[in-house]
Amino acid sequence: MRNTWLIIRREYLERVRTKSFIVSTLLLPALMIALMVLPGKLEMLKASGTKRLAVVCDHADFARAVQSQLARKGKSEKLDSSPRYQVEIVSTPDEATRAALNDRIGAGTLDGYVWLSGDALVSRRISYVARETSDFIEAETMQGALTTALLRQELRSRGVAAEDADKLMKGVDLDTVSIKGGQEKKGGGPLQFISAIVLVMMLYVTLILYGVAVMRSVLEEKTSRVMEVVLSSATARELMAGKILGVGAVGLTQIALWVVIGLVGTTPGLLAARSQLSGINLSPAALPAFAVFFVLGFLLYSALYAALGAMVNSEQEAQQWQFLVVMPIIIPIVMMTYVIRQPNVPLSMWLSLVPFFAPILMYIRVVVQTPPMWQIGVCIALLLLTLWGVVALCSRIYRVGILMYGKKPTLPEIVKWVRYA
């Protein structure tokens, strides 16, 4: 135990004192905060200037309806990034008019025009010709204005007053409410879906990131022959346990620092968006479950990565074999959307009980809709049992593999290592 503790201490201090650890600990939260804040800031910026547009249509009433809708879109709410529109009406949709408008666009006196000829209205295929058409927000704004004008015109032709048409075309707000323990709880919907994906991807990335760190640590010491010296005073099992726990402690330290920095940096934004965040109805067990499944998942996959690092002789060989360890993590990522949408169907339940899938899929179920406690208990028990078996198996591979140089790891060779260790 003393040797294991010494190895844990060495692995931990050696990594937290490096410049790469300090830089990544500070840089990643700054990058994430920037990615969260900048889109909102850019969304609040109005496009500079006024768009000069022409509506080409021989139906005067419909042309004025489109003009009104575009003017309304340009003056819409504060967060709308669409530009203001200065719209003129052209009542002769013919080829001469099209050529003249194209010339005006080329000369810079007009930004674009909407072609609303009789054929275009009948087929509902309307052309928007402009100097620049890459702005998808502007295209959506244009499409929405035209659709609204067409609907309004159709309702008016059927004798519906303008005020009644506005009421009929107004959308609805949908509140999602779940029943838990006989009580109503507001939440769910897209925000619940997004929050589950964000938390699960954090778990996925950390499992991969620090599992690979364990593999590289073993591989570096094996290729430098330091392992032969270390094994003179510590057993292979102690060395493997020390590396896994030491690197795991580094991961937990970095994640804790990221959480603290993230909370400090995003608190003003979270307070400003508290009305939107109220739709996220996370279970009280979400945070404790994250810690439990991260630790168990990390130990499980780190043992596999440590065995992989002991088997191979170079970084290139490790990359070729790494898919065998990564594949059990990719499968639950593929099934993630299905489990989020249907967390309690039999397929979701059985998949979440598979030990190699459980750190991600069972955690998803806890976040979205907490399953019965017996299922969580069975899942953790299976994870612990599998962890014990994997560690026993991988320690045998580790014990022989770390002293094997120049021999490629084939399946018969690995079976020999397990048998003779």
Reported confidence tier of residue 78, pLDDT bands at 50, 70, 90: very low
Phi, psi of 114 (to 5 degrees): -105, 125
Asked whether residue 361 is assigned to any structural domain, the reply reads yes
Confidence (pTM): 0.64
Specify the pLDDT at position 231. 66
Report the 10 Å Cβ neighbour count for 234: 17
Judge if 214 and 353 occupy the same domain.
yes
> What confidence score (pLDDT) does residue 385 get?
92
Nearest residue to 120 via CA among 74, 168, 64, 58: 58
Whether residue 194 sits in one domain with residue 156: no
Whole-angstrom Cα distance, residue 246 to residue 7?
Answer: 7
For the ranges 95-99, 158-162, 302-306, 322-326, the lowest mean pLDDT is seen at 158-162
- pLDDT, one tens digit per residue, over 271-309 is 544 544 455 556 667 778 878 888 888 888 888 887 787
Residue 37 inside a domain? The answer is no
Cα angle 115, 117, 118; round to 5:
155
Whether 300 and 412 map to the same domain: the answer is yes
Q: Are residues 142 and 214 in the same domain?
A: no
| 44 in a structural domain | no
- Is 34 inside a domain boundary? no
User: What are the pLDDT digits (tens) for 206-241?
Assistant: 777 777 877 887 777 766 666 666 667 777 777 777
- Within 10 angstroms of residue 351's Cβ, the number of other Cβ atoms is 20
Average pLDDT in the 27-44 region?
67
Whole-number percent of the chain with pLDDT over 70: 75
| Neighbour-count burial of 106, counting CB atoms closer than 10 A to its CB (0-12 exposed, 13-18 middle, 19+ buried) | exposed
List pLDDT tens digits, range 297-349.
Answer: 888 888 888 778 777 777 777 777 788 888 888 888 888 888 888 888 899 89
Looking at the structure, do residues 196 and 158 belong to the same domain, yes or no? no
Quick one: pLDDT at residue 77? 45
Residues 226 and 279 in one domain: yes
Q: Is 381 a residue whose pLDDT tops 90?
A: yes
Say whether both 114 and 229 belong to one domain: no
- Last residue of one domain, picked from the residues 119, 147, 162: 162
The last residue of one of the domains, among 97, 128, 162, is 162
Task: Classify residue 60: in a domain, yes or no.
Answer: yes
91 within some domain: yes
Name the residue among 129, 138, 168, 133 with its Cα closest to residue 151.
168
Q: Name which residue leads in pLDDT, 255 or 44.
A: 255
121 and 192 part of one domain: no
Residue-number span of the structural domain to which 231 is assigned: 187-420
Residue 380: pLDDT band (50, 70, 90) is very high
Burial annotation 256-284 (CB, 10 A radius, 16+ → b, else e): ebbeebbeebbeeeeeeeeeeeebbbbee
365 part of a folded domain:
yes
Q: Which of 88, 132, 137 is nearest to 106 (CA)?
A: 132
Angstrom distance (rounded) from CA 198 to CA 190: 12
> For residue 4, how far is the Cα from the chain centroid?
37
Note whether 235 and 288 are same-domain residues.
Answer: yes
Q: How many domains does the chain have?
A: 2
Whether 260 is in a domain gets the answer yes
Count the neighbouring beta carbons within 10 Å of the beta carbon of residue 5. Answer: 14
Task: Kindly tell me if the per-residue pLDDT of 79 is higher than 60.
Answer: no
- What CATH code is carried by the domain that includes residue 104? 3.40.190.10
- 282 and 225, same domain (yes or no): yes
Residues 140 and 88 in one domain: yes
Strands 84-90 and 50-56, sheet pairing: parallel
Structure tokens at 109: 């006196």
Residues 410 and 367 in one domain: yes
